């Protein structure tokens, strides 16, 4: 339905959970929330989602915010991340987690971010007392000046990869790579609340939020900016955050309690026929081999 449904391997993760063939592109009949935000789960402009199509969202607070703004057709299913954890309970698990993985706030293809990476790197060096891995979004990773800001301070710099599309394989393993890294690190940090922090908290990482939050060049006022994030989640900001509280908030924001069954997702996404066709093909293939 929409290209963003396939970013970061989301449709593949959900398709595998539903028992569909791994190689088949999954066309979701609706709009899947692709990242955490503190509005209603989607961009503020109404033309992002075509009227009449369902919106598959992570948490009930997003549904309520959407309703308050006149949006309808919400289905609570939780984040694709929780389905990955369900399928990969041991992926990346190590006996001794070490170091900090740091996610600087990033831009995207249509909007860049303004901020001083060198100054942020200095602050990270002053605060963190364990080895630091800085994970950059692919656009920032492609910028040698930004990479150098962190590498010159002795930090390891990585990227989980580009986000993909329905037909490309670029983003198919994005979340799996992220899960492996988070489970190797003791601590996850960013200069803004975001998906990576909640993902990390959900798998046992300590959490922190500090440093210049940086800004989109034309950041939409509907989000409310840094002041709104501080007002809603003051307890999640600082160089040290209560790990139990962070884990509790993460489970709520990621919608663990709304994980759907494979049958429910197949019906909601319009995949029921795909499942039946896959099952029929499998039976036919077994008959030929016999």
Structure tokens given for 27: 């066309």
Q: Average pLDDT, stretch 172-188?
A: 95
pLDDT category at 60 given cuts 50, 70, 90 is very high
* Contact criterion met (CB below 8 Å) for 275 and 19: yes
pLDDT category at 290 given cuts 50, 70, 90 is very low
Query: Domain-by-domain residue ranges, the chain?
Result: 3-87+255-289, 100-252
* Contact criterion met (CB below 8 Å) for 155 and 121: yes
Query: Model's pTM, two decimal places?
Result: 0.88
- CA nearest neighbour of 79 among 142, 163, 153, 14: 14
pLDDT category at 50 given cuts 50, 70, 90 is low
Count other Cβ atoms within 10 Å, centred on residue 239: 13
What are the pLDDT digits (tens) for 275-289?
Answer: 555 554 444 434 333
57 burial level (CB within 10 Å; 0-12, 13-18, 19+): buried
Structure tokens given for 14: 């959900």
Alpha-carbon span 127 to 89, nearest angstrom:
32
What are the pLDDT digits (tens) for 30-40?
Answer: 888 888 987 77
Q: Residue 286: what pLDDT? A: 41
Structure tokens given for 272: 């029921």
Spell out the residues 6+ positions from residue 172 whose beta carbon is closer than 8 angstroms to its own. Answer: 9, 12, 164
The domain 100-252 is classified under which CATH number: 3.40.50, 1.20.950, 2.60.40, 3.50.30? Answer: 3.40.50
Q: Residue 73: what pLDDT? A: 85
Q: Residue 228: what pLDDT? A: 81
Count other Cβ atoms within 10 Å, centred on residue 73: 14
Q: Residue 216: what pLDDT? A: 65
Greatest alpha-carbon span in the chain: 66
259-269 as b/e: b if 16+ CB within 10 A: bbebeebbebb
Alpha-carbon span 140 to 144, nearest angstrom:
8
């Amino acid at each position: 339905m929409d290209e963003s449904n396939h970013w970061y391997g989301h449709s593949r993760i959900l398709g595998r959970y539903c028992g569909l063939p791994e190689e088949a592109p999954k066309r979701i009949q609706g709009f899947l929330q692709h990242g955490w935000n503190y509005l209603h789960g989607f961009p503020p402009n109404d033309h992002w989602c075509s009227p009449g199509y369902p919106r598959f969202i992570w948490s009930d607070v997003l549904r309520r915010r959407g309703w308050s703004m006149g949006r309808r057709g919400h289905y609570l299913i939780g984040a694709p991340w929780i389905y990955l954890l369900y399928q990969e309970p041991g992926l990346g698990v190590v006996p001794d987690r070490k170091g900090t993985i740091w996610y600087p706030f990033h831009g995207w293809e249509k909007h860049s971010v303004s901020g001083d990476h060198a100054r942020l790197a200095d602050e990270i060096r002053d605060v963190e007392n364990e080895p630091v891995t800085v994970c950059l979004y692919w656009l920032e990773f492609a910028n040698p000046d930004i990479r150098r800001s962190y590498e010159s301070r002795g930090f390891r710099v990585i990227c989980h990869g580009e986000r993909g599309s329905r037909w490309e394989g670029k983003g198919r393993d994005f979340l799996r790579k992220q899960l492996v890294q988070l489970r190797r690190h003791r601590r996850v940090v960013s200069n803004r609340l975001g998906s990576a922090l909640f993902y990390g908290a959900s798998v046992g990482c300590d959490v922190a939020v500090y440093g210049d939050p940086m800004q989109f060049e034309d950041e939409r006022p509907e989000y409310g900016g840094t002041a709104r994030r501080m007002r809603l989640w003051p307890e999640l900001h600082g160089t040290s955050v209560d790990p139990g509280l962070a884990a509790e908030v993460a489970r709520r924001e990621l919608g663990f309690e709304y994980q759907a069954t494979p049958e429910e997702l197949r019906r909601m996404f319009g995949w029921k026929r795909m499942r039946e066709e896959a099952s029929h093909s499998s039976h036919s293939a077994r008959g030929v081999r016999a």
